[in-house]
Chains A and B, each alone.
Chain A
């Protein structure tokens, strides 16, 4: 079983749709959690950190459920520019990072 598993996708949605991505992790010692965005043939860039209390940044909302070892990302009112691969990342307190394989989103006009 992979340490970090994401919805395989791809997700193809129309503009304006709401889409949710899920991620589960197996290491209960994990301490910090992130969503990164990666555009084609580019480096990943931080989208947002994920906190137990949940956090929101504009159209993006991230949630963490430590008991279920589950992370989610919700994108509301999808834009064409949201098309990318979204990577779930889990870190231990020792600084070791584990990435999921990513979920690809395509937003269509």
Chain B
């Protein structure tokens, strides 16, 4: 049981390039999330999904896209990378038991845009 896995661990992009951050969970969780964390700050929600085929915007969705075709995978797409997208990106998933949404996080992807 690997939990939540993210690839790549590190990436350097040039301004204007695009990339996809991969996230996979093997816990059969319905809910999945993408966050970004800037230095010294908390996590900001980019997008989340309550199940396959359903996604919704979080606090900071601009510049990103997501899809959720399976329960396991929730990739995050960056189009036209900008320096403001330099950050650490965390994917998370949670099971739903009543109102409990304890989240399990992947190890993160450290992205630098120059």
Contacts and interface: CB of A to CB of B under 8 A. Distances in A.
A99 interface: yes
Contact of B41 (A44, A93, A101): A101
Interface string B44-70: 110010100000101100000000000
Nearest to B49: A95
A contact face: mostly helix, strand, loop, or mixed: strand
B112 interface: no
A32 B100 contact: yes
Contacts of B41: 101-102
Contacts of A1: none
Given A32-B100, A97-B45, A99-B35, A43 B50 contact: no
A6 to B, nearest CB: 8
A100 B43 CA distance: 7
Nearest to B59: A98
Contacts of A96: 45, 48, 56, 58
A45 B35 CA distance: 14
A43 B90 contact: yes
B48 A43 contact: no
Interface in A46-88: 46, 49, 87
Contacts of B31: 95
Given A95-B31, A98-B59, A46 B102 contact: yes
Contact of B102 (A43, A49, A99, A102): A49
A25 interface: no
Interface of A: 4, 6, 31-32, 34, 42-46, 49, 87, 89, 91, 93-102
Interface of B: 31, 33, 35, 40-45, 48, 50, 56, 58-59, 90, 94, 96, 99-108
The 8 closest A-B pairs by CB, nearest first: A43-B105, A101-B42, A99-B42, A99-B43, A31-B99, A91-B101, A32-B99, A95-B31
14 contacts: A6-B42, A32-B99, A42-B108, A43-B107, A44-B103, A45-B105, A46-B102, A87-B42, A94-B50, A95-B94, A96-B58, A97-B45, A97-B48, A101-B41
